[in-house]
Each structure stands twice: as C-alpha cells, then as structure tokens.
C-alpha cells in the first residue's frame, strides 16, 4: 500500500501580496490590508515588512498603527482576492482531485499515489511552489507530511516561501521542539494551563499520560494526547458542506438608537438571506450576536417550524430575539445575524391551490429573487429599504456609522464551514 502524503499549502501574506502585485510601488513597504483605525477596522493581512513591528492579522488597526506609524493601509478587495484564490486552486487541481480548501488562501492536497506523474513529494511540492511564483507571481509555503495535522504545522515552519517535509515516522520528533501553542486546539487558555504545569513544548506534552490529560482537560485532553504525537487519520475532504451563514457589523462608535439598530438587523438579515439563496440553502435556525460597548457578548437563537431563506422571515425571528435580549438604551458595539442547521434546496410552491400563508411566502420569495437580480447587476446599494436609508442618514449625522458606511471597512472572506463577513477585532 502506498504511503499517504498530504500537502498543506498556505499563500504567504496573501491579501498584502496581491496588493503589492497590483501596485508594485507597495513592494517592500509596510503594507496593512484592513479597515481604517477610526472605524474600528482590523488587520486583515500584514506584509512581512510590517510584521517585524509586531503587527499581525486580526489585530485592531489602531494598535497596528501605533506599532508602525508609517505603515500603508490598503482597503480590502475580496472579489479580487477570490479571483486569485481560484487561479491557485485551479492550478492545484492539475495535480490531484483531492483538494480541501479550508480558507481563501489555504488548502490541503492528498497526493498519495501521484508520484509516478509528478515525482517524489518534495519534488512535486517544489514544482507547485515554483509554478505559483512564475505564473501567478505569488508566494506560497507548503508543508508535507503523512497527515493533515502535521502538514499544516509544517507549512508554517519556514515562512515565507517555506518548503518542509516531515518524513513518515518522524512526526513526534518534528513536533517535540515546537512551542505547545503551535498545536491545533491549544489556545491562550489551554496554553496557560499547560505552562502552569511546566509544559512549554509539544514534546513536554507527550510526557503526560492520556489519563492525566483527560483529568485536566476532559475530552479535549484525549485529543491533545493524540495530536502531540502527530496522530491524525482525518481524510482530505474536497466537498465539505457549509454549516452556517452569518454576517456581522462593528459600529464606528457604540450605538444606542433603537431605530438604527433595527435597521441594521434588517440589512444584515437581507445579506444572510441573499447568501443562502445564492448557495441554495434553507436555514432551520436563526441567531443573533450582540456585543455591548464593554465587550460583553451575547448570542441567542431560535429553531423555526419550517426552514427558510426569505429575508422577511429571517428578520422577523432576529428582531424577536433582539427585542428579548437587548437592554434598551445600552450602547452596542457589534451586531450580527446568523443562520444554522442548513438544509439543501429552495422550496418551490405554485401560486394556485395554496393556503393564504403559503401564498404570501411565495410572493416574498419571488420578491427576494427580483431584488437579488437587481443588486447583482447594479450593486448592493442599488435597491434599499427606506428604513435602512433613513437609518444610514441618521447614523452619518450622529457619527454612529456601521463599518459598511466606510469605504475602507473590513469584510472577511467567505469560508466553507462558516460563511461570515465583517468581523470584530476582539
């Protein structure tokens, strides 16, 4: 049986690299892609030049500018990045059909058995890396290993333009010297708990028994035991389904005006509905996310009697959740609407022989379809509800501007497992 070989490819500082490619004057400069600091923007990507100052993705832009005052801020252009991402993925599909794209700039490849066509794994990976550089003028790092866990860690080992192969059977030795934070599933809280017990490297973690880890961390402890030894049997899954669709916005300053907040709920519900229809999904669950000015964050959800992708129905449920959750008058920093428990297919009804409720739903569905068509052709702001337009006017006058009113707002790219946009820095 052929040895299993998995690649993890990660495009280096992808958004910043695309911006430098399109504007050569940015090459070598401290480039930050993201929203403006005055609108609570966050860093979507940072060039390697600016990373030397401690700037990294997901950092509040205000802090990034304090660290590197001479940095050049570039507003994100996700449609452009998606175009380049597709070009990269198309190139990867020339080598194997087993491609699992996990974000706009990352993908796993199962190249088991492909050696007869492309050479040994190291030769194959080097060829892919060179082609991306020559044909697309982008830099990529590739990790090579017998499983997804180790391949992903290896791709980050020698960035940028890194190429790291972990030999079969050498997984524990490779991981042992790395900081424990490099292991999947070890965040700040877990790392702090491990370091409190003298566990600083992944190798240190292997000194604990499975029982000890389970006593300390429950089921997560069992997972840590396997991961610290480089054990991972997950397959590369090319067609993983979407699990949720959500959109959220961070306000330029905290908002306590109920009318503005309800208009924002409506606008976010429309975005979620449009995305569901584009992906041909119906949602069984609607949720909201609320973050107050002191960073207290609440989420609430409700399960529907019938799955839907109709804007009005999503908004109605989101509005009910909002009214029962928000403390009226308390300033809000972030607001989000989401849908979960998705099912495939759009429900088709005929406009005859229906009860009044079904007839009304069908009319709403058709109206949403017309709106989708107009907005797709003329832009998302070409057709807006009067309440949203008035709230926009009020927000501008009061300075309570949602991020979408700024030309430089950050809008996170779609991902396969959680389609979400417009994140918050915290």
Q: Is the pLDDT of residue 414 over 70?
A: no
Q: Which residues are catalytic?
A: 106
pLDDT-derived band at 185, boundaries 50, 70, 90: confident
Q: Is the pLDDT of residue 328 over 50?
A: yes
pLDDT-derived band at 385, boundaries 50, 70, 90: low
Longest Cα–Cα distance of the chain, Å, equals: 71
Map residue 260 onto helix, strand or coil: helix
Give me the mean pLDDT over the 302-308 stretch: 90
- Domain 172-228 sits in which CATH superfamily? 5' to 3' exonuclease, C-terminal subdomain (1.10.150.20)
What pLDDT does 162 receive? 95
Distance between CA 318 and CA 159 in Å, rounded?
43
pLDDT-derived band at 395, boundaries 50, 70, 90: low
What pLDDT does 193 receive? 85
Q: What percent of the chain has pLDDT over 90?
A: 55
What pLDDT does 351 receive? 41
Q: What percent of the chain has pLDDT over 70?
A: 82
Buried residues in 221-238 as b, exposed as e (16+ CB within 10 A): bebbbebbbbebeeebeb
pLDDT-derived band at 13, boundaries 50, 70, 90: very high
What pLDDT does 171 receive? 95
pTM of the predicted model, to two decimals? 0.65
Instruction: Judge if 1-168 and 244-421 fold alike in CATH terms.
Output: no
**CATH architecture designation of domain 244-421:** 2-Layer Sandwich (3.30)
What pLDDT does 153 receive? 96
Question: Does residue 354 or residue 285 have the better pLDDT?
Answer: 285
Give me the mean pLDDT over the 131-155 stretch: 97
Give me the mean pLDDT over the 395-421 stretch: 44
Distance between CA 275 and CA 239 in Å, rounded?
18
Distance between CA 369 and CA 363 in Å, rounded?
10
User: Going by C-beta distance under 8 Å and a sequence separation of 6 or more, which residues neighbour residue 134?
Assistant: none
CB 383 within 8 A of CB 232: no
Nearest CA among 142, 101, 100, 415 for reference residue 236: 100
Domain boundaries, the chain: 1-168, 172-228, 244-421
pLDDT-derived band at 161, boundaries 50, 70, 90: very high
pLDDT-derived band at 228, boundaries 50, 70, 90: very high
> Hey, what are 295's tokens?
């960073």
Q: Rounded to the nearest 5°, which phi and psi values hold at 347?
A: -75, 120
Distance between CA 359 and CA 357 in Å, rounded?
5
What pLDDT does 403 receive? 47
What pLDDT does 213 receive? 86
What pLDDT does 415 receive? 33
What pLDDT does 387 receive? 61
Model confidence pLDDT, tens digit, residues 50-80? 999 999 988 999 999 999 999 999 999 988 9
Distance between CA 56 and CA 73 in Å, rounded?
13
What pLDDT does 154 receive? 97
Q: Which CATH class is domain 1-168?
A: alpha beta
Buried residues in 58-84 as b, exposed as e (16+ CB within 10 A): ebbbeebbeebeebbbbbbebeebeeb
| Segment of 74-88, 237-251, 372-386 carrying the highest mean pLDDT | 74-88
Number of neighbouring beta carbons within 10 Å of residue 328: 8
Q: Is the pLDDT of residue 404 over 60?
A: no
Buried residues in 391-411 as b, exposed as e (16+ CB within 10 A): bbeebeeeebbbbbebebbbb
pLDDT-derived band at 365, boundaries 50, 70, 90: confident
> Hey, what are 408's tokens?
């430089």
């Amino acid at each position: 049986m052929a040895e299993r070989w998995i690649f993890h490819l990660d495009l280096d500082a992808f958004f910043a690299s695309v911006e430098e490619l399109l504007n050569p004057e940015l090459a070598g400069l401290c480039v930050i892609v993201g929203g403006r600091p005055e609108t609570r923007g966050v860093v979507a990507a940072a060039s390697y030049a600016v990373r030397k100052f401690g700037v990294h993705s997901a950092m509040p832009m205000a802090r990034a500018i304090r660290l590197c005052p001479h940095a050049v801020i570039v507003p994100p252009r996700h449609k452009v990045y998606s175009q380049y991402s597709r070009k990269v993925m198309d190139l990867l599909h020339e080598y194997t059909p087993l491609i699992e794209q996990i974000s706009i700039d990352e993908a796993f490849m199962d190249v088991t058995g492909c050696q007869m066509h492309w050479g040994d794994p190291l030769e194959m990976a080097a060829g892919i890396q060179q082609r991306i550089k020559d044909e697309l003028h982008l830099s990529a790092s590739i990790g090579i290993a017998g499983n997804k866990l180790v391949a992903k860690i290896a791709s980050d080992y020698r960035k940028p333009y890194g190429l790291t192969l972990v030999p079969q059977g050498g997984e524990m030795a490779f991981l042992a010297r790395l900081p424990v934070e490099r292991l999947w599933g070890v965040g700040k809280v877990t790392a702090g708990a491990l370091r409190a017990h003298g566990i600083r490297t992944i190798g240190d973690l292997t000194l604990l028994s499975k029982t000890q880890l389970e006593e300390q961390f429950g089921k997560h402890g069992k997972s840590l035991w396997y991961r610290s030894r480089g054990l991972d049997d997950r397959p590369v899954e090319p067609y993983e389904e979407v699990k949720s669709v959500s959109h959220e916005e961070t306000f330029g300053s905290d908002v306590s005006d109920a009318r503005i907040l309800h208009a924002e709920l409506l606008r976010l519900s429309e975005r979620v509905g449009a995305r569901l229809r584009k992906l041909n999904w119906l949602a069984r669950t609607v949720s909201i996310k609320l973050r107050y000015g002191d960073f207290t964050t609440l989420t609430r959800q409700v399960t529907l009697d019938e799955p839907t992708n109709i804007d009005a129905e999503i908004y109605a449920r989101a509005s009910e959740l909002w009214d029962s959750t928000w403390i009226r008058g308390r300033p809000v920093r972030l607001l989000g609407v989401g849908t979960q428990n998705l099912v495939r297919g759009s429900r088709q009804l005929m406009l005859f022989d229906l009860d009044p409720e079904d007839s009304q739903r069908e009319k709403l569905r058709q109206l949403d379809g017309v709106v989708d068509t107009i907005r797709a052709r003329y832009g998302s702001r070409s057709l807006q509800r009067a309440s949203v337009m008035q709230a926009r006017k009020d927000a501008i006058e009061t300075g309570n501007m949602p991020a979408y009113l700024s030309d430089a707002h950050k809008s996170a790219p779609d991902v396969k497992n959680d389609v979400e946009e417009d994140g918050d820095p915290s």
